[in-house]
Structures are given as C-alpha cells and as structure tokens.
Amino acid sequence: MSAAFETQAVVIGIGNLLRGDDGVGRIVAQRLREQNIPGLRVLEHEGETTWLMEAWGSADTVFVVDAISSASAPGTICRFDAAHRSLQRVSFRDSSHSFGLHEAVQLARTWNRLPRRLVIYGIVGESFGLGSDLSSKVRQAGGRVADRIVAELSAIRSDRVRSEF
C-alpha cells in the first residue's frame, strides 16, 4: 500500500507477551508495525480502561486485538463491531486478563467518545501460562487477523475515495 489512508487509523494490540497466547494482540500489532502502513498508528499495551480510551483518542477508525478464553477451538477469530453494537459483557468476560475492554467501550459510549469505527478482534487462546510460547494455531490466527485489518483499511480507503467522486 503506497497511498496514505484518508482517515486516522489506530491498531491496539493488547496482551502480555510472557503469558503464551495472551500476547497475540501484541504480536499482531508488531506485524502491522513492520508493514509501515501510511496513516496507521500501531500501539501495544497490557490494557487498562482509561488508557484504551486515551489511546484511540480522536481516531476515526480503531482496531483492538486481544486473546480471549472460550469453549471455541484455539485460533478461532471473533470480530465485534463495537461502534454500532453494544459489546456484550459475556463476549470478553473470560479474557485472559481483566483490563476492562468492555468497560472502556461502555464508558466511551456514555461519554460520546467512541471512534466512528471500533472493531475488536478476539482470538481464542489455548495456553496462557507464565513463560509459555504462543501456540501455532493462535500465531496463524494472528496472521489472518493482521491481513484482515489491512484489507478492512483498504476497503475503508476505497469507499472514501469513491464517495468523493
């Protein structure tokens, strides 16, 4: 991608790199940072409610990537459109850490501080033990999520260009 995105976009990778699959959000962020996509700001953090709201600031488009615990198979990708639909508490209640993603979204909605587009990708993890490595299924899913984010950003840019004509 050589042209800059017309809108400010932010990717926030959440997780702890020392706890196996919990670090997948940050791995996705690192992969996107390496691509040097113009107009994309990439952040990594272990996560916390007010930090998240500050991190997306006035950005038009925000993607948050995190590992989740679920009965679904490891590597399953869940996509949530949090700007247009209420983020169900149950969706992230089993997150491998309690950093307050649900609370951040609800608080930002109440304060009218949600980005126009807020997409949350949850990747079902398998191993969250201290010192464990990222599992292969979760690593592969992280690569697919990075590709999806790039595709979504391209589609947003294409739609914006079309609407200008």
Contact 145, 123 (CB under 8 A): yes
The Cα–Cα gap between 11 and 41 comes to 6
In this predicted structure, the answer to whether residue 76 has a pLDDT above a threshold of 90 is yes
Q: Closest by alpha carbon to 46, among 70, 64, 33, 60?
A: 64
The Cα–Cα gap between 130 and 139 comes to 17
Contact 5, 56 (CB under 8 A): no
Q: How many residues does the chain have?
A: 165
β-bridge partners, 61: 9, 117
Q: What domains does the chain contain, in order, with CATH numbers?
A: 9-163 (3.40.50.1450)
pLDDT, one tens digit per residue, over 106-157 is 888 888 888 999 999 999 999 988 988 999 999 999 999 999 999 999 998 8
pLDDT, one tens digit per residue, over 32-62 is 999 999 989 999 988 777 788 888 888 899 9
| Amino acid found at 160 | R
The Cα–Cα gap between 37 and 31 comes to 11
DSSP secondary structure letters along 105-131: HHHHHHTT---SEEEEEEEE-S---TT
In this predicted structure, the answer to whether residue 5 has a pLDDT above a threshold of 60 is no
